[in-house]
Structure 1
Amino acid sequence: MVGKRQEAKGKSVKIFFDIKDFKMSEIKDFKDLIIWQKGMEIAEQCYFVTKKFPKEELYGMVLQIRKSSSSIPANISEGYGRKSSRDYKRFLSIAQGSVNETETHLLLSARVGLCTLKDIETIINNLKE
């Protein structure tokens, strides 16, 4: 169950809903989840942008970006597969951490000259969706 606060005539009301019940009739597989599909796109974009990085970064920043970005859809699918809203929520939180980690690695890469802000602009925008 997920709690959400809403204001009702000046009073705070907590509303609960089950993540797994939300449009589950349309979701037959984790690959049907829009959030997983977007995560896969981000990971793919990260793989392409890091191909341009210097070879000496293969086991440094390239590896960090690829691991953190691939962790986004991986945690979404793993959480979905747990079949419990509590576990799913926990894995979504882990995926959000991977989003932040990926953004940090990309921004640092631009700051130290491994890429330009233009190279990563689309990925950064997708991470913020």
Structure 2
Amino acid sequence: MEKEKVFARNYRELLVWQDAIKIAKAVYQLTGKFPKQEMYALADQLRRAAVSVPSNIAEGQARKSPGDFRRFLHISLGSLAEVDTQLVLAQEFGYLSKEDVDPMDEQIQNLRKKLYALINTLPPTTNR
């Protein structure tokens, strides 16, 4: 991973945030294919999880504390796992095809690696 400025002036400069935005946009496009009865169920949950990923990256970076940033990056990883799981469910339920899900899986795996790499650049936190 290209070395990022951990405390960039703006979270929008972070590649992980940019990648997370792309995933969220793709999720919104894909969930548009869901049946109407899923718009307030799986589609809504999937959209919320997808939006949570870049939102937590932004919030963590904005706090300017390595410990807070690390914690929010871990929350982003959890939300990313939710997106991954819910895409699998959408495919299992027949709402999305393998062709829809496979590129998303690749993007998710790449972002997961970048998030872990970014976490590893942060100075260790001390126990209080």
- Give the TM-score taking structure 2 as reference length: 0.80
1:54 to 12, 30, 35: 35
Question: Which amino acid is 2:43 matched to?
Answer: V
Higher relative contact order (CA 8 A, sep 6+): 2
How far apart are 1:117 and its partner, in Å? Answer: 1.5
Q: How many residues align?
A: 108
Please report the RMSD computed on the Cα atoms of aligned residues, expressed in angstroms.
1.6
Bigger Rg, structure 1 or 2: 1
Question: Which amino acid is 1:40 matched to?
Answer: I
Unaligned runs of 5+ in 2: 111-128
Which consecutive aligned stretches of 4+ in structure 1 deviate over 3 angstroms post-superposition? 22-26
Instruction: Give the 5 Å matches for 1:72-111.
Output: 72-111=53-92
Instruction: Give the 5 Å matches for 1:25-44.
Output: 27-44=8-25
2:52 to 63, 66, 71: 71
**Higher helix residue share:** 2
Structure 2 CA distance for partners of 1:25 and 1:52, relative to 1, 3 Å? closer
How far apart are 1:28 and its partner, in Å? Answer: 2.2
Structure 2 CA distance for partners of 1:82 and 1:42, relative to 1, 3 Å? same
Report the 3-state secondary structure (helix = DSSP H, G, I; strand = E; otherwise coil) of the residue aligned with 1:128.
helix
Unaligned runs of 5+ in 1: 1-21
- Give the TM-score taking structure 1 as reference length: 0.79
- Show CA shifts across 1:5-56 (max 9, x none): xxxxxxxxxxxxxxxxx75499221000000000000000000001011111
**Higher strand residue share:** 1
Q: Which residue of 2 aligns with 1:121?
A: 102
